[in-house]
Structure 1
Amino acid sequence: MTENTQAKNHDTAVNHLALESTLDQPNRKRRTPMWLKLLKWFVLPAVLVVVLVLLFSKTPEEKVQAYYEKGMAFLENDELDKANIEFRNALQIKKNVTAAVYGMAQVAEKKGDLKAAYQHYLTVAEQDNKHVMARVKLANIYMLAGQPEKAADYMAQLARLAPNDEHVLLLQAGASLRQGDHEKAVALAQQALKKNAKFNEAYALLAVERMQNKDPDQALVFLNQGLQQLPGDVDLSIYKVRVLESRQQLDEAAQVYLQLIKQTPNKKNLRIDLVKFYMRHQKMDLAEEQLRALIAVDAKDQEAKLALLDVIKRSKGAEASAKQLQAFVDDAPDDMQLRFAQFATDMQNKNMPAAKKTLETIIALAGEKQDRLKAKGLLAQLHLQEKNRPAADALIAEVLKEDVRDQQTLTLKAGLDIQAGELEAAIAKLLIVTADNAKDANAMLVLAQSYAKTGQFVQANQYYQKAVDASQGNVRFMMSYANFQFATGEFEQAEKTLNAVLAQQANDLPALKMMVDVKTARSDWTGAVAVVDKVRQVAKSPLVADYLLSDVYFKQKNYAASLPLIKRVYAAEPKDAQVLGNLVSHLVMAGQSSEAVTLLNRLHSENPQDALSQLMLAKVYLQSKQLDKATQVYQSLIQQSSKVVQAYQELAKLYLMTGKMVEAESVIEDGIKQHPKDLSLQFLQADLYQSTGKPGAAQAVYEAMLKVDANATSVLNNLAVLLVEHHSDKDSIARAYQMTQKFSKQEVPELKDTVGWVAYKAGKYAEAVKALEFSAEKVPANPVFQYHLGKAYLAVLDKLHAKLALQKALEGAGSSRDVPVDEVKQLIAELG
């Protein structure tokens, strides 16, 4: 809204600056600069001399005032970028010019950047403890953000500072309206109008209140009253358009726009709004007419041209749009933005040859380096889509040779690194991209995900937050962040993030489903059921809510409540494997294993080729300790089809668990012959060799796995442990240490324990303590972590903490073979 206090604020700023100017110059004589004295020796036109003198004789305060006034003029005409530049110029000369900061806040707000607006308004409030409008704005921002308690703080300040100010009264009216107290809201708005009959925001609030009560007639009455007081007010006029639209009075609504355009022909955004209005109501010919009028005024108006192409495509088809685009290109062959639009059209039409040709033309013609590099980057992407990696790599190298920090190409190269599993290389490139462009939300999201994949959760969390901020709270980014928080066990934070999503989209089904999981993880059973009730209202099928509620009851161990629900879902979706698995789990946990066995046998008889039902049947037998029957099922599956790799895996685990090493070895070898690339079988084989006292054979398995993937963290971890446990030579220890450095940054307790233990074996005791403390702190009940930490403490002569850690190791060791109980007892005795 146009603020009625702008003139007042402007005058205050002027007086303030004038006062500062007076105080800064108390009767002092200004020394003439030497260069000005020398001007008399040069033959210069007199006018130029006068201009130079005037230019350089301005005081800093006068320059600040000039920049500020230019900024306000640009702001009035909605030339926001230009306004921002002028306000910044003023602040470069003098940092604490409150009026300029307030101007920047207004620019940010008009651009929709509430985060920046908030920061600027906060600065104004801190600089001027009596600035009413800054506090009004801050309160409004908090209310929009769904934080009424923080808004209330500023409203309390305003009630003391300016209780009768019309803006304060209207703020209170808005708060009342949000709380559903329409009578109070109307009374406060009317009170504000008595103080200022030209207060457009008050008329708007009265109209909003009437629209909430489905009374558009009275809403129009209030808006027309406001427009009588403020003829041509843009905000009131646009709100009037919306009301007229709701009444389907489209011609009248269009006339309001046309009248505004006639009054202020230089305000391009009004024509754009009118175009959008016409497009909403499928009046494409009128939209086209307005856009062509814009282009006639400014032949270089790219926004209008691109919008026109969209309108033509919708109304006359893609061919007509492409023809118009070609006409634009013919008229301005050096306009690279139009050629990029041509490329986009080629891609939409899936015409790859034409797209490549367009990019090649841009590369050949582009006068600007930025356009040329952009085209090369896009062409590299096309080559990658065609699996022409050499051509793509060549273009990427060309771009990075010209500009090592080209964001598009670095992002592309980072994507290739991620595909190749080279996450640290990808992270390095994405750090450059995000450092150069703090608003690249997508790059920050990929960087966060890359950190998460490498186990660097602190950094991942940092960049997820940055990605959310850069996207200005985009739901897609917040959902990704919530998934990360949930996966890392930060359930309270995940719930806060999901609440922010639901504040924007209350019926977002994925967010509601995740909220059920979060509430359940926090044992907030009442809250989980309440969210399920919301899902029941939103989801198209009641089965969605039934499925979620069955899971809530299952985790509560309320099987009597969970079983009927999951059975109802399964009856409706009998082919859903996940639903079947859940039903089987519910039956087993409810003590109804026989019913699960009957169901799975029936499914197998109906479809003998269905391996899934038999795998589930074997699991049921395992859970009910019928090991012979489970073994028979797995053997039958393998005989029936060697393609079921899970049968080999599970049978091998069963043999290992029951100490049948010969049988386990036979199954694993057979499985690897049938599935040579299966990593699970290879890990089982290495475990088998270690369990049977064959560390050399286990090492050979891991070495072979590393030849396939030299950066496989699990393989590196296991091999490093094997080396330090079974070798004492310096080369083996050094190699193990180098291996652990590849995952030393990962914040996974098991990996940190390996990092610390290998460092201990390598004699790097301080480094070992740091890593092992992390693991022991994260999982204090793990006796192995405590044993390793106790040994490391002993190495740095910290006997007190060593004894405490070793005692914890002994308490939790039980019959564990991984903790040498006798050694631990002896060490504790020696420590006293």
Structure 2
Amino acid sequence: MSGSTKLFGSKQWLLVVGLMLTLTLVGCASPEEKAKAYYEKGIALLETDPAKAKLEFQNALQMKKDMTEAVYGLALVAEKQSDWKACFSLLNSVLDNQPKHTEAIVKIAQLFLAAGEIDKAKENADNALAITPGHLGATMVLAAIDLKQGQFNPAVEKANQVLAKDPNNIDAYMLLASERFAQKDLPSALKYLDQGIAIDHKSLLLQLFKVNVLTATGNVAEAEKTFKALVEATPSDANLNAKYAEFLMQHDKQAEAEVQLRKIIALDASAMAPKINLVQFLLKTKGPKVGRLALEQFVKETPDDVELNFQLVNLYESQQDAAAAESQLRKIIQVAGNKPEGLSAKVKVATKLLANHKKTEAMQLIQEVLAADARNVDALIVKSGVEIDEMQYETAIADLRSVLRDQPNSAQAYYFIARAYELTGSNALADESYTKSLEISKYSPAYAVPYAKSLMGKQTFARAEDILQNTLKRNPSNMAATKLLAQLKLAKGDIAGAQNIADSIQNAANSNLAEMITAEILMRKGDDVGSIAMLEKAHKKLPEDMEAITAIVKVHLSKQRTDTAKAFLDTVLTAQPNNYDAKLLLAQIYDASNASAQAQEIFENIIVLEPHKTEAYQQLASSYAKAGDLVRAKATIEKGISANPNSAELYMLLAEVHQMNKHYKAAMEVYEKILASHPELLVALNNYVSIVADYETDPKLLNSAYERAQKLKGSGIPQFLDTVGWIAYRVAKYDEASRLLNEAVAKLPDNATFHYHLGKVYLAKNDQAKAKASLEKALSLSKNQDQAFTKEIAALLKNV
């Protein structure tokens, strides 16, 4: 709503400015006179120095607490500073004191209009007109509503009525220009804008609109000239400078854009955002090295700027330079100390360490923070997140309740406690807390999208759709929520609904989601050709988007067009020779086509280029293992671990290779190592317990594994249930084993191992009939799969 005072605001107070006299306050002046003097000084400063105007209005209120006009002055300052929440609150305070304050009512109408709440905007504008018939500001609000609703003739009629009464009303010229622009009459739009600018050449709104119209006519040179003159007239306006830089970038004037971005930094050397904008620009236009050097220089100039240091960490991580990122994190800890900002920095460092799988060190930092401030909200939230991952749900809930006592409006705390409730089966409390997090955060996509995704996984489509609709109402440009809503529509078979979403985002900037949704719709309709054409359009729109690239490859492979898929990836890599994911995808296609030599060569090349990324190691090791070369598979994994010592994925693969080699003790040791740093990895726990249940005889080890396996019970995953049931059998808890294995069989009835384990339990319980039925089922399922297993089952059946 920036600049809305100029779009709709009444200008009566300008008369006061024009007639303002310099007042000298004498000691005998009454409080009312002093208040009036402060108020008038505030009005005089409002346009040129809103911050000083605010002080004058506050001084007026100190002299006269019930001075409504001073409160209204503060609302105008808040509007100038784009503090809409404060503006709305102050305007309501004005109306509490003076319910028929027309100007305040009109301002509230403008705020509702900007927020898209048309009905409330109209209600307030009508109210203003009832109090002050013919009020120009209220009339312009109604005209703007007409325009927004496509009622062009009534909008124009109202604007002309305003001009008849006030020929210098620039809001009316803006509306008339907007109507002509909407009707694609660009010359007339320019005419109205020039008329408005002739009245108020300082109006940013009119000038910027003129730039847009000139650009739309194709006269980019004139648009740039207009924009440049505007910037030169107000060189200290950082926001305007930023808009100009963006304009230059859009029109391929990179050198001029860089100059402009550096000017913005010079306006306020302490501001971080302009520096980051320049770095992002340099990364895009001059490459990763130049952008990185620029950010490193900014950090060197202001080493105590913790936020800027974190930006450098983020850049290192995005460039896959884990060593540099970790080194920078250490520097942040040294710089931060135990001051409040230092404690905040430690929490952020801990969060980064957790993301890098360094939990022990991260939690040490969290404990340091809590030792200095036992009620530190951010630290408690991080701690509770770790506790949830470790299945310490009750402890997490207790920590989060402590947070909510101090910060009852913490959306993040409600979101985490909802997760904990959900994982303990307290669904009603979980839903209540999820709802709280959404309401407090005003349906922030950060909370709404994962919750909606979870609901979709439970087939709770109506609730998920309601959440996503509310999220998009408040965040209409959020692509994650838009994408998930489209997926929901497709899951429900609502093709028309999904297509409507695609149509609504057709012109979204920097997004190919519309094309991706349409491609999926066409594929579901059996239109292979149309789907590929749409995916190619999506790829052309965002050439580096791997989702579009992968989708094109999948379609070709699904139609047995392997050579076409390879050729397409070759063209991608010609244009993007360093596209890591595209190289991986090409190697995977060769491997799946039994061209393992070519695949392995590509994987090896990727590893040389990107030694700190783990996927190529995993894929190469899998390729060797598939070919029966477990020695090279193991060597590849160990090489990957040497370069990536914190990769749980590589350790998991190493344990699997040990199992394939029947080196079960070695596999158990690897799983123990994984669980020491990643206790939340239930797959590692399941595999460890499974090995113990299958191969160990030590009662102490078996009982320990049984106790540890209890974490797997609540997962509902059939393989995990089978493992818990099997270890229960090994410690002679046959009733528990029978119950769990029957539950696993019910969830996955065609698994031979499940039936075999259940048969063994029934034998232990001397239930020969059920044992025979289970073993016969296991035998029928195991045929043509594992001959050794089949022989074992057959031998067992002979004794039943």
Using structure 1 for the length normalisation, give the TM-score. 0.53
- From 361, 372, 383, the equivalent of 2:342 is 372
- Conservation of the 8 A alpha-carbon contact between 2:337 and 2:343: no
Q: Does 1:221 align with 2:194?
A: no
Shift of 1:182: 0.9
Partners in 2 of 1:505 and 1:189 — Cα distance? 31
- From 186, 193, 211, the equivalent of 2:181 is 211
Shift of 1:400: 1.7
Shift of 1:281: 2.8
Say how many residue pairs are matched. 537
Q: 1:65 to 1:449 in 2, by over 3 A?
A: farther
- Conservation of the 8 A alpha-carbon contact between 1:686 and 1:702: no
- TM-superposition CA deviations, 1:451-488 (whole Å, max 9, x none): 44456666655654554455555455444565678869
SS at match of 2:518: coil
- TM-superposition CA deviations, 1:691-727 (whole Å, max 9, x none): xxxxx975799999xxxxxxxxxxxxxxxxxxxxxxx
Shift of 1:166: 1.2
Shift of 1:309: 2.4
- TM-superposition CA deviations, 1:747-790 (whole Å, max 9, x none): xxxxxxxxxxxxxxxxxxxxxxxxxxxxxxxxxxxxxxxxxxxx
Whose relative contact order is higher, 1 or 2, with alpha carbons under 8 Å and at least 6 apart?
Answer: 2
Partners in 1 of 2:478 and 2:268 — Cα distance? 43
Q: Does 1:426 align with 2:396?
A: yes
Partners in 1 of 2:63 and 2:557 — Cα distance? 73
Partners in 2 of 1:116 and 1:321 — Cα distance? 38
Partners in 1 of 2:463 and 2:354 — Cα distance? 42
Q: Identify the residue that residue 160 of structure 1 maps to in structure 2.
A: 130
Q: Does 1:510 align with 2:488?
A: no
Residue type at the aligned position of 1:2: T
Q: Identify the residue that residue 209 of structure 2 maps to in structure 1.
A: 239
Partners in 1 of 2:60 and 2:422 — Cα distance? 43
Shift of 1:222: 0.9
Q: 1:187 to 1:294 in 2, by over 3 A?
A: same
Using structure 2 for the length normalisation, give the TM-score. 0.55
**5+ long unaligned stretches in structure 2:** 504-513, 527-554, 560-689, 696-704, 726-732, 742-800
- Conservation of the 8 A alpha-carbon contact between 2:461 and 2:488: no
Q: Which moved more, 1:490-499 or 1:361-370?
A: 490-499
Q: 1:501 to 1:340 in 2, by over 3 A?
A: closer
Q: 1:517 to 1:114 in 2, by over 3 A?
A: farther
* Aligned counterparts, 1:30-45, within 5 A: none
Q: Which moved more, 1:253-262 or 1:89-98?
A: 89-98
Residue type at the aligned position of 1:182: F
Alpha-carbon RMSD across the aligned residues, in angstroms, is 5.1
- Conservation of the 8 A alpha-carbon contact between 2:10 and 2:103: no
Shift of 1:177: 1.7
Q: 1:302 to 1:202 in 2, by over 3 A?
A: same
SS at match of 1:541: helix
Q: Does 1:201 align with 2:171?
A: yes
Partners in 2 of 1:174 and 1:79 — Cα distance? 27
Residue type at the aligned position of 2:194: N
Partners in 1 of 2:301 and 2:208 — Cα distance? 36
* Aligned counterparts, 1:786-801, within 5 A: none
Q: 1:471 to 1:223 in 2, by over 3 A?
A: farther
Q: Identify the residue that residue 534 of structure 1 maps to in structure 2.
A: 500
Q: Does 1:2 align with 2:5?
A: yes
- Conservation of the 8 A alpha-carbon contact between 1:257 and 1:270: no
Q: Identify the residue that residue 350 of structure 1 maps to in structure 2.
A: 320
- Conservation of the 8 A alpha-carbon contact between 1:410 and 1:430: yes
- TM-superposition CA deviations, 1:204-224 (whole Å, max 9, x none): 211211111112221111111
- Conservation of the 8 A alpha-carbon contact between 2:369 and 2:376: yes
Shift of 1:188: 0.7
Q: Which moved more, 1:446-455 or 1:314-323?
A: 446-455
Residue type at the aligned position of 2:278: L
Residue type at the aligned position of 1:390: T
Shift of 1:245: 2.6
Shift of 1:419: 0.5
Partners in 2 of 1:117 and 1:335 — Cα distance? 32
Residue type at the aligned position of 2:284: R
Q: Identify the residue that residue 274 of structure 2 maps to in structure 1.
A: 304
Shift of 1:418: 1.6
Q: Does 1:388 align with 2:358?
A: yes
- TM-superposition CA deviations, 1:483-536 (whole Å, max 9, x none): 678869794895376266268369935325546889x9xxxxxxx686366368
Q: Does 1:264 align with 2:234?
A: yes
- TM-superposition CA deviations, 1:240-269 (whole Å, max 9, x none): 222223234333333333333333333332
Residue type at the aligned position of 2:164: K
Shift of 1:185: 0.8
Partners in 1 of 2:395 and 2:268 — Cα distance? 46
Q: 1:198 to 1:400 in 2, by over 3 A?
A: farther
SS at match of 2:198: helix
Partners in 2 of 1:484 and 1:244 — Cα distance? 48
Residue type at the aligned position of 2:469: L
Q: Does 1:185 align with 2:155?
A: yes
SS at match of 2:342: helix
Partners in 2 of 1:462 and 1:99 — Cα distance? 43
Q: Identify the residue that residue 139 of structure 1 maps to in structure 2.
A: 109
Q: 1:386 to 1:130 in 2, by over 3 A?
A: closer
Residue type at the aligned position of 2:248: Y
Q: Identify the residue that residue 737 of structure 1 maps to in structure 2.
A: none
Q: Identify the residue that residue 828 of structure 1 maps to in structure 2.
A: none
Partners in 2 of 1:67 and 1:90 — Cα distance? 5
Partners in 2 of 1:436 and 1:462 — Cα distance? 19
Q: 1:417 to 1:84 in 2, by over 3 A?
A: farther
Partners in 2 of 1:74 and 1:410 — Cα distance? 46
Q: 1:532 to 1:350 in 2, by over 3 A?
A: closer
Partners in 2 of 1:174 and 1:311 — Cα distance? 37
Partners in 2 of 1:413 and 1:387 — Cα distance? 15
Residue type at the aligned position of 1:236: L
- Conservation of the 8 A alpha-carbon contact between 2:465 and 2:488: no
SS at match of 1:404: coil
Shift of 1:228: 0.3
* Aligned counterparts, 1:23-172, within 5 A: 76=47, 98-99=68-69, 101-102=71-72, 105-106=75-76, 117-172=87-142
- Conservation of the 8 A alpha-carbon contact between 1:515 and 1:531: yes
Residue type at the aligned position of 2:387: D
Q: 1:375 to 1:126 in 2, by over 3 A?
A: closer
Residue type at the aligned position of 1:202: A
* Aligned counterparts, 1:293-692, within 5 A: 293-366=263-336, 369-430=339-400, 442=412, 444-454=414-424, 460=430, 464=434, 467-468=437-438, 471-475=441-445, 477-480=447-450, 491=462, 495=466, 498=469, 501=472, 504=476, 508-514=482-488, 531=497, 534=500, 539-541=517-519, 543=521, 679=713
Q: 1:291 to 1:195 in 2, by over 3 A?
A: same
Q: Which moved more, 1:169-178 or 1:442-451?
A: 442-451
Find the structure with the greater CA-based Rg: 1
Q: 1:331 to 1:437 in 2, by over 3 A?
A: same
Over the matched positions of the two proteins, sequence identity in percent amounts to 30
- TM-superposition CA deviations, 1:166-222 (whole Å, max 9, x none): 112111212222332211111111111222233222222112111111122211111
